[in-house]
Structure 1
Amino acid sequence: MTVRAHTIEGMFALRFCLIVAIAVTLCPFAALAAEKTTAVWSDGHTSALADEELMRYAISSPGPGYPEEAQRLKLTGSGVYELQIDKSGKTTGVAIVKSSGSPVLDQAARKTFLTWRFKPGVFVRVRVPVSWAVNRLR
């Protein structure tokens, strides 16, 4: 067996262990949605960005947490948020383009996105879609 085969088997075993560990728990999450992230660059052009490309320019970009109240109420939803970014790369404002349908989830997104930082001079605005879901795996 080659080294590559061992690595692939090891990755499969790790994924399997993670799935088994999660399978018995309620697993809330917030993730970037399937809808594309878009950006207005500092030179004025607009483009869609893959998550990996956006993260290449990010200095700090934690994901929105799943608020305790939302977990308790099993709130779900999808929203789109537009970040205003200054020349230093700091997020200075967050507008709700499309509400998740829950003020609790929208507030969590706003609070988190205000902490996002990007490389200076890259973006003016970034639109980020987010989906919240509660999954029970068995």
Structure 2
Amino acid sequence: MRTFHGIAELEAAVGTHLGYSDWHTVAQEQIDTFADATGDHQWIHVDPAKAAQGPFGSTIAHGYLTLSLVPDLVGQIYRVDGVSIGVNYGANRLRFPAPVPVDSKVRAGVELLSVEPGGGGHMVTAKVTVEREGGDKPVCVVETVSLVVA
């Protein structure tokens, strides 16, 4: 865990890679729970027997499930002390270049792209790349934008 003591320290890290999260296993139970929460019960996610005959040979996680892991994974990588609040503001780019088969292990890496005044605080933009253990392509790449208020 990398800790920044205030916005100035965070600004000094722009352009650097901040590190990696721990590995997280995406189990069928998590996929099913996400399907229930979102109403997306497509067979490729929730029907192991049918998915075994499909293009990936097993069920796969929803792309948005993978995205939903980003706050927790990034929270393992860095934090900023000395601020009153940090909230998700949005995303500039989002892609799912490869699937996440059930029981895959994924982790995130973070590159800090910018820290700029705005929105009553500072807008922090980071490139988050989620990779699958043993995979040859990322499973999610997103530029996150957070509002951090001192």
TM-score by length of 2: 0.36
Higher RCO by CA contacts (8 Å cutoff, separation 6 or greater): 1
Q: Which has the higher helix share?
A: 1
TM-score by length of 1: 0.38
Q: Which has the higher strand share?
A: 2
